[in-house]
Structure 1
């Protein structure tokens, strides 16, 4: 059963059962269909279904984490046994090994597209590229279940990136319902819906609709159409409301509150503390550049070193992943370095955001709060770089958010130790609130790693307070600006490591602004003459791997349009399998392609049948007669805008309508980088 079959069954059960009992053609039927096919209903379904899945996955992963922690730390059965520390250690390490291994194997065998954050691939898709199998039900199952296991293992991984992936899959599957069949071939509508799904994925993770929309725009879009703004907000608000309502109904919440509620004073900082907040932003930018560099090295590490001398790279990579899990879980053992190392991330963030000193909590006192915070910051800095590189679904926002909060809290505790009675200013005393420093550090470091200003808005929605709006904004701006100058964002770094198609951003200060299309284009090697034969097209397909081929006139090579590779292969299959049947469209509807493309092309080339020497009947194929084309004098900045706005992977260069060259997305990116 395919994903389409599943969604058609759900659709029939929920909507058609009611509609079919009404008279055909009645006003009520038309009104119901009009409502069900509206943007509002589609976006509501997207937000609600994503939020329900997010809440369920949170419940599962939280249960896996807390049960393991409570079993090891507070189990009376284990406490009464001899050699309890050895047994506790073995159980503590065995749990993440089992869950991480299950997540890796599940992801590997079901869909490798679920590996990693998912945001780099979504950004590539929104630019017009296609990643086979990325938005399918198999990828949905692999990502959702694999993410539960990965987060439940206790490793420092988040869920915001994979959940953006999940939301985009849900959006794609919703569009496969019979209700929305008129939108399936509308690439612009699909792109707008996927863009809204990105906002839903973030808002359903943090219950932050405003920050979720802004964050999704910053990390996925080069140019964002304003007409799509309301879609993102409506879907994000729908998802975040449902997400928090379920927390209120089923998770012992007193009311609908922020995820990490803070209770800072009305005047939580003195003006003189702004200098310290600026320093937190500067160091966060430096640490973010170091983190991205470390992560890139970690990703390349298994490719350069074979730790186990195993010939099979798949087994070697699996053993390497297990080694990483064992080392991290061993160092997180509560009875080794301190009980704070084994705390779940949510509990750690709650304690770091507390307005009182951590000296009042025994869990951070060994050997002292400064050493404990520094050790937690240093180890989780390294742990996160290794964990998010493992082959399972893993987001990076929550881990770097925690790292930044730890660094900010360390600075706050130092300030509290230096000024225990507060800072005197104009005969008034401003109390030091170390939790405020943690909020600033979390916002600054996560903003620097992801290169997003909207992280500040996410922090305000997460904490439910905007008392630190000025220090947060200042620290975020400094951290983001410094990180921009030193390294690409985490997501851009992953795009480069995965060698995905990508369009780098350029500013008005770009040195190559004087270049034109004639200087960066390359000559068109493969094109289709309007009088080309089937055999000639077969040779063309065999010797190239383009997805679209330009169609030109015979004499002047004027650009007529483009034809997809799939359409050309289907025409050749039609000639091979049914040479006497000319109705190509009915053939496609009658049967699936039973022959592989390679065998069909090979057969048409080697055949002496006159049918393959016939000229291609252009009425059999769908021609895009409006491809994006420019002249040789078009400036590079305008070309960049066309790629970003039109979301295409190639632009043709013409001179008086004559095709003379082509510029691809990858080639433009290479020109900009160089």
Structure 2
């Protein structure tokens, strides 16, 4: 089993990423591209502004503030539309109609929405398919000119509409990757405003603007400005310019303020702060958290391998699913059939995570429900990652990790008594599995901001570190694997198995 999970490319680099890693600094910032800033000599200065002048700061500060506000507002509107459509489907098919009629309405509406999601991607922009983080990672590595279509307004429209339809149709995909992609497109078009045009001409600064946009997309997904900056640094950057940090903080704080305003309304679901007491964690339990982190690292590597193998199996063996509409329709049909009779599968992932993180006994779910949720969600998510629709995976891995951690905590509670708080193990499991899938240590900072507590800092940091270390010993991160999958989709060259 270990040899199956392990990537034969470990230590050799991934195909499709070699070009990124071999590019010279002069290739990234030289004057050899044909952008609007051609002939403008780039000056990468470690100063507070573009070139350290007041005039440049007078453009840079408003740009970053505007980026945070506009991108976060757009992302919040998309999320609210998604929530409204998803709830409307449930209300019509479950509350208003019943039995076979409700079943047909729920399943058929889900299939139609998912087909619409892949249709808009096909007609408007195929660059809107998938997470969006792999494309942004390539752009941040210097391939801006080769991936301009990823930053087109058509990609923004396809990403927004496709995401609304995919999640509203019931597919278990996340929104954090698409939010990052949409934020970067908004940043691209804001930089074309005449007042900000001089910022765009500096190629080093242009990459910094993209980095800030990535952080805004993440901060607008979870309301976590600090964790978003660190996560974007790990997940999208092959290198990092220090002056990007304060710009990212400014942009994410603006976006987090908008997030806080939107998600205080009853229209959208939001993460709730945890209420763990000072005695819920004891140093004697640290070994138990270490075991959980190690196991989540193995599960994360296994999930990455499963995602790639499912994609390869579908391409090689299931040729009748080569048509995007047949493929998406079949997955949406299976998802709808499984969801209708199980309310647990229909609730918002944030609501389920809040339940799993609770320091008290669960109200909405039983232990068998959590186990059933994991058994159904895991294969569905692995299949959905490779579908030609917009969708991320972070929130899905977050949910699966929370479920595994909750079950582990409940088991320990039956063995060691009431000194064990299962909700705390759910929090650690969520951060650990997210780290095992994405290989980002900053998942620990994200969870601190999501839960609003740092009393459980030590077990989370240790568990995430173990998870990332163990997962890296088997294969590459999911985002690197998605880059390989996209390269293979666009190129007929045969690469070694990752």
TM-score by length of 1: 0.62
Unaligned residue ranges in structure 2 (runs of 5+): 1-53, 489-494
1:263 to 1:124, Cα distance in 2 relative to 1, 3 A: same
Q: State the shift of 1:48 in Å.
A: 0.3
**1:282 is matched with which residue?**
294
Write the distance in 1 (CA, Å) between the matches of 2:486 and 2:243. 32
**1:63 is matched with which residue?**
84
1:112 to 1:258, Cα distance in 2 relative to 1, 3 A: closer
Contact 2:140 2:238 in 1 (8 A): no
Which structure 1 residue ranges, 4+ long, deviate > 6 Å from structure 2?
Answer: none
Alignment partner of 1:120 out of 124, 128, 134: 134
1:51-90 mapped onto 2 (5 Å cutoff): 51-73=72-94, 75=95, 77-79=96-98, 84=99, 86-90=100-104
Contact 1:199 1:213 in 2 (8 A): yes
1:219 paired to 2:235: yes
RCO higher in 1 or 2 (8 Å CA, sep ≥ 6)?
2
Q: Deviations over 1:271-313 (max 9, x none)?
A: 23222211111111111111001111122233213454x8xx5
Write the distance in 2 (CA, Å) between the matches of 1:407 and 1:69. 27
Contact 1:262 1:464 in 2 (8 A): yes
**1:154 is matched with which residue?**
170
Q: State the shift of 1:496 in Å.
A: 1.3
Q: State the shift of 1:469 in Å.
A: 0.8
Alignment partner of 1:434 out of 417, 422, 435: 422
Write the distance in 2 (CA, Å) between the matches of 1:252 and 1:58. 10
Q: State the shift of 1:376 in Å.
A: 1.2
Alignment partner of 2:470 out of 482, 492, 499: 482
**2:285 is matched with which residue?**
273
1:291 paired to 2:303: yes
Write the distance in 2 (CA, Å) between the matches of 1:306 and 1:416. 45
1:79-228 mapped onto 2 (5 Å cutoff): 79=98, 84=99, 86-129=100-143, 130-228=146-244
Secondary structure of 1:38 counterpart: helix
1:471 to 1:258, Cα distance in 2 relative to 1, 3 A: farther
Contact 2:215 2:248 in 1 (8 A): yes
Write the distance in 2 (CA, Å) between the matches of 1:89 and 1:276. 43
TM-score by length of 2: 0.83
Secondary structure of 1:262 counterpart: coil
1:349-388 mapped onto 2 (5 Å cutoff): 349-358=353-362, 361=363, 363-365=364-366, 369=367, 371-388=368-385
Secondary structure of 1:269 counterpart: coil
1:36 to 1:477, Cα distance in 2 relative to 1, 3 A: closer
Write the distance in 1 (CA, Å) between the matches of 2:279 and 2:174. 32
1:41-56 mapped onto 2 (5 Å cutoff): 41-56=62-77
Contact 1:36 1:42 in 2 (8 A): no
Contact 2:80 2:267 in 1 (8 A): no
**2:329 is matched with which residue?**
322
Secondary structure of 2:389 counterpart: coil
1:240 paired to 2:256: yes
Secondary structure of 2:392 counterpart: coil
Unaligned residue ranges in structure 1 (runs of 5+): 1-32, 423-430, 501-669
Write the distance in 2 (CA, Å) between the matches of 1:174 and 1:410. 46
Secondary structure of 1:189 counterpart: helix
1:557-572 mapped onto 2 (5 Å cutoff): none
Q: Deviations over 1:532-568 (max 9, x none)?
A: xxxxxxxxxxxxxxxxxxxxxxxxxxxxxxxxxxxxx
Q: Deviations over 1:441-466 (max 9, x none)?
A: 00000011000000011011111111
Could you say which structure has the higher strand fraction? 1
1:227 to 1:184, Cα distance in 2 relative to 1, 3 A: closer
Computing the radius of gyration from Cα coordinates, the structure with the larger value is 1
Write the distance in 2 (CA, Å) between the matches of 1:299 and 1:252. 36
**Aligned length in residues:** 436
1:258 to 1:91, Cα distance in 2 relative to 1, 3 A: closer
